Amino acid sequence: MKHLVVLSGAGISAESGIKTFRDADGLWEGYDVMEVASPIGWEKKPELVLKFYNDRRRQLLEVKPNTAHKTLKELEKNFKVSIITQNVDNLHERAGSKNVLHLHGELLKSRSTKNEKLIYDCDKDIMLGDKAEDGGQLRPHIVWFGEAVPEMHKAAKIVETADILLVIGTSLQVYPAASLIDYLPDGKPIYIIDPKRHEDRLLDHVHFIEDTACNGIKEFADLMSK
Ligand code: APR
C-alpha cells in the first residue's frame, strides 16, 4: 500500500463551522491572536486566554466532521494514511482516522504550566485555580506562538516516508509546520487543496486543487482511484 501523508490546517474544519486563523485580518474569532495564543498573552491575561479556549472547546463539542475528514478516513481502504494536523480540534479522530498526529496540541487536553508532560483529558472549562497534581495551574494543551513544537521531529520522519503528500486547508505560513513539505523525498507528488492559491510555496511538482476542502477532496479521491 502506498503511504499517503496528509498535512491539514484550519481550512479543513472551516466547513464544519470552525473559523480559520488568517481569513479574518489577524483576528481570530474576534481576538488578537497574540493576546490569546502566546506565552506573553498568558502571562498578561490568563483569564482571557482560558475564556478563549473554553469557548473554542464548547464550540468543538457542537460541530461535526465534514466530507473532507470523512473521505480521508475512506482513503484508508486503499492507502496507508498518516495525518499530521495543525488543528487542535478532534474532527479527524471523530471521522475515524487512525493515525493522527497533532502538531499544535489538542483542545480536549489540559496540562500543567510547570510540566509540559503532565497532560490530562479535558472536556470541561479550565478555570484559574484549577491545578495539576504537581500544583501547577492548568492551561490548555496547545502549542502557542513562540513555543517549541515537540512533535516536529516525529512529523518530519513521517513525511520522509510518504509516497504522496496532501496539503489541505493550511496557509503554510506558520513554521516549523510549513517546512514539513521540504522533507518529502524528491520526485514524490504534492497535492494542495485550498480555495486560495499560495504562490510563494508553489513548486514544480505541486498539483493545486483550487477548491474548498469538501469539494477538493472528491477530486483528489478520484485522482487517487485512477
Ligand atoms: N477549505 C479548504 N481550505 C480553506 C477553506 C475551506 N473551506 N477555507 C479557508 N481555507 C484555507 C485558507 O485559504 C488558508 O489557506 O485554509 C487556510 C487556513 O490558513 P490559516 O488560517 O493560516 O490556518 P493554518 O494554516 O492551519 O494555521 C497554522 O497557525 O494560528 C496558528 O497554531 C495555529 O495551527 C495554526 C497555525
pLDDT tens-digit map of 41-76: 999 999 999 999 999 999 999 999 999 999 999 999
What pLDDT, on the 0 to 100 scale, is given for residue 119?
A: 98
Q: How far apart are CA 80 and CA 163, in angstroms?
A: 10
| Cβ(193)–Cβ(48) below 8 Å | no
Mutation test residue for ligand 1: of 12, 18, 23, 173, the one with most atoms within 8 Å of CB: 23
Prediction pTM value: 0.95
Q: Do 118 and 162 share a domain, yes or no? A: no
Question: Which cell is 163 given?
Answer: 509516497
What percent of the chain has pLDDT above 90? 87
Residue 116 contacts by C-beta under 8 Å, 6 or more apart in sequence? 150
Region of poorest pLDDT, from 15-24, 69-78, 165-174: 15-24
Question: Could you tell me the CATH number of the domain that includes residue 221?
Answer: 3.40.50.1220
Q: Do 91 and 157 share a domain, yes or no? A: yes
- Strands 105-112, 119-121: pairing is antiparallel
15 lines ligand 1 (CB under 6 A): yes
Q: Do 161 and 53 share a domain, yes or no? A: no
Q: Is 102 a catalytic residue?
A: no
Q: Do 54 and 154 share a domain, yes or no? A: no
195 lines ligand 1 (CB under 6 A): yes
Q: Do 185 and 129 share a domain, yes or no? A: no
Strand partners, 148: none
DSSP string, 138-172: EEEEE--TTS--TTHHHHHHHHHT-SEEEEES--S
Total domain count, the chain: 2
Q: Do 13 and 72 share a domain, yes or no? A: yes
Residue 175 contacts by C-beta under 8 Å, 6 or more apart in sequence? none
How many CB atoms sit inside 10 A of residue 153's CB?
A: 9
| Cβ(53)–Cβ(140) below 8 Å | yes
Helix (H, G, I), strand (E, B) or coil at 7: strand
Question: Could you tell me the CATH number of the domain that includes residue 46?
Answer: 3.30.1600.10
Q: Which residue has the cell 470541561?
A: 124
Ligand 1 atom closest to 10 (CA): 26
Strand partners, 168: 8, 193
Angle at 130 between CA 127 and CA 131, to 5 degrees: 150
Among 142, 163, 191, give the residue marking a domain's end. 142
Q: Do 89 and 156 share a domain, yes or no? A: yes
